[in-house]
Structure 1
């Protein structure tokens, strides 16, 4: 559930703060800081909540919020949504992370709940132009290069054509899957200056290519007993660099049960912040016959299956892809006492 932290500075602000919390109860995890009950300073509150909350709501002057958050702002794909309400609840103003962080959407919802007017200032919204970053977040795409968002948005605002390609979909209709196709988007290679690539690969098709990364890759991992912690990470970084792949596309790491306690594998899953999926030899051996693997008799004798990393990757990819469209895109690759393979799914 979304975590929203609210703070107020006057008696009127406290009343509105309580009303907001009441209306959002059940819709979000609400943390309320009232003037009449607060025991910490604004800087301390902001430092903590900016790191842990999905959204911050300041009830008071916009200048208070701006000064409070300024030391903590990093980048638009990491910062939380920040919203300001005046103490009488007349206006709701998103001031940070309007698209990726969802501040614009939350401000509109909040304004409806408290019968206020949302004050949206982002150019795409006020001109009724499709916002690619909002759409990307809604559909679960990671943004590889946020600096390219402005080129796509600026082109659309100028009513210029913007290219779009996907190796996850068959055409633009499948990309939008029943949604209205935004004006200005042209599927395939075009002469446009800006374009959008939906792929785990980093392909600069246009002068300004915005890379939207789908979660579609599974790392299958193997490790000798006691392999050093960073060995698998180094191997994966090399594989992804050599093949122009984005680490943001990784959804899971998978391995066999007898390797589940290996530090090299556990540490990589933690670093990439993805689940570690564990399978038995019996589960790995039961994969469909349509898959072929780089078989090793030594590995079979040691683990009970002929290829830990490839089979683990495929097994997890099949689960992620509902049993369809899984394929090995990087076969078993050896590193220092570790192995890895990549499987892709739709």
Structure 2
């Protein structure tokens, strides 16, 4: 790794030389060069003879990492015209002149700025400042996985989308050739598996050297909707509530197995129309069955006074299922409609 340390003041230059001396014994760097203004330069530094901006423009693509000991605002304005893409830009880190706070500014994952900031902070007694969401949440980003595997990302946009799933706690499966492995954070929602896709997976990272990989999706019908609604609720309102809840839970409408409701809603016109439109069976649950388990769910005095049970959507979803799954959404309210989603 080639590291450039860039400074603009006498104090920062001294700190840059000190940091070079501390980092050299780690054997992590092929080259460590300290750049400073000509008036502060000596035999331990490289003078920026044509000024700061011109020097940065010339060396930007020559180093794997650039460490600026100065205000981050100056750095941002200077490097902005030089930036190309996160998969080719060098790691950029900054710090104050005392080296108290080492900030990963750019190319935190692919460029290794996060790891570099942490390593430098450890060696000079500073505090690493890392703001990438995956690192803050203790998970791992797709581009970090690529870096660990010394591999290349085919598509930055899809990598960003899958990383968003990881950051939001969704389960993502990592598919590797059988002769490869990668060490992941034990708390990460990324599953490092080579055989079989686990239930509840929202994304897949595939590592392969094939030019084209054909991927298809088979959608199981294992989602049960429990529905409660006010009398005479229009079908459009009920359907809107269902579609909104399914979308929020990242579930395909084709995965609906059936819809369940309470016996007093067996003739609810809007609900029957929705079932017909979706081509799904309406399963009706007797209130006597609901009473036996209603205390397991959020209830309402008003609902109990009206129909004799404290809740509808969650218990009917559970009672009409195989009872060995789990709730993805226990209750979602929408314009007088309650939707519960149970996954078998």
TM-score range, shorter chain: 0.5 to 0.7
- Which residues of 2 match residues 198-217 of structure 1 at below 5 A? 198-201=207-210, 202-203=212-213, 205=215
- Which of 154, 178, 197 is residue 206 of structure 2 equivalent to? 197
| Correspondence for 2:21 | 22
1:183 to 189, 199, 202: 189
Structure 2 residue aligned with 1:31: 33
Q: Which residue of 2 aligns with 1:77?
A: 87
Give the equivalent residue in structure 2 for 1:169: 178
Distance, in Å, in 2 between the alignment partners of 1:152 and 1:178 is: 16
Q: CA deviation at 1:183?
A: 2.8
Q: After TM superposition, what 4+ stretches of structure 1 lie above 6 angstroms from structure 2?
A: none
CA contact (8 A) 2:2 2:32 kept: yes
Q: Does structure 2 retain, via aligned residues, the 8 Å contact 1:193–1:206?
A: no
Q: Are residues 41 and 181 of structure 1, via their aligned partners in 2, closer, same or farther at CA, if it must alter by over 3 Å? A: same
Alignment partner, residue 323 of structure 2: none
Aligned partners of 1:17 and 1:59 also within 8 Å:
yes
Q: Alignment length, in residue pairs?
A: 202
Query: What's the TM-score once normalised by structure 2's chain length?
Result: 0.54
Range with greater deviation from structure 2 (138-147 or 80-89):
138-147
The runs of 5 or more residues in structure 2 that have no matched partner are 42-46, 218-344
What is the distance in 2 between the residues matched to 1:179 and 1:120?
Answer: 17
CA distance in 2, matches of 1:184, 1:88: 38
For residues 54-73 of structure 1, the aligned pairs below 5 Å read 54-73=64-83
Shift of the 30–198 alpha-carbon distance from structure 1 to 2, 3 Å rule, reads same
Matched, 1:102 2:112: yes
What's the CA shift for 1:94? 0.9
1:229-249: per-residue Cα shift (whole Å, max 9, x none)?
xxxxxxxxxxxxxxxxxxxxx
Q: Does 1:158 align with 2:168?
A: yes
Q: Distance in 2 between matches of 1:106 and 1:165?
A: 28
Q: TM-score, normalised by structure 1?
A: 0.54
Q: Describe how 1:207-286 pairs up with structure 2 within 5 A.
A: none
Judged with a 3 Å threshold, the aligned counterparts in structure 2 of structure 1 residues 32 and 177 are, in CA distance, closer, same or farther, namely closer
Structure 1 CA distance for aligned equivalents of residues 134 and 94 of structure 2:
20
**RMSD over aligned Cα atoms:** 2.4
Q: Does 2:56 correspond to 1:46?
A: yes
Give secondary structure in 2 for the equivalent of 1:57.
strand
Partner residue, 1:6: 5
Describe the shift of the 1:15–1:96 C-alpha distance in structure 2 as closer, same or farther (beyond 3 A).
same
Q: How far is 1:181 from its partner?
A: 8.5
Q: Which of the two has higher C-alpha Rg?
A: 2
**Distance across 1 between alignment mates of 2:62 and 2:173:** 37
Shift of the alpha carbon at 1:189? Answer: 4.8
Q: Which runs of 5+ in 1 are unaligned?
A: 208-346
SS at the partner of 1:51? coil
Deviations 1:11-50 (A, max 9, x none): 2111111111111224321111123123221121111221
- With over 3 angstroms needed to count, the CA separation of the structure-2 counterparts of 1:75 and 1:156, relative to structure 1, is same
Note if contact 2:170-2:189 (Cα within 8 Å) is conserved in structure 1. no
SS of corresponding position for 1:78: coil
Distance 1:159 1:117 in 2: 27
Q: How does 1:116-131 map to 2 (within 5 A)?
A: 116-131=126-141
In structure 2, do the counterparts of structure 1 residues 90 and 62 end up closer, same or farther at CA, with 3 Å as the change threshold? same
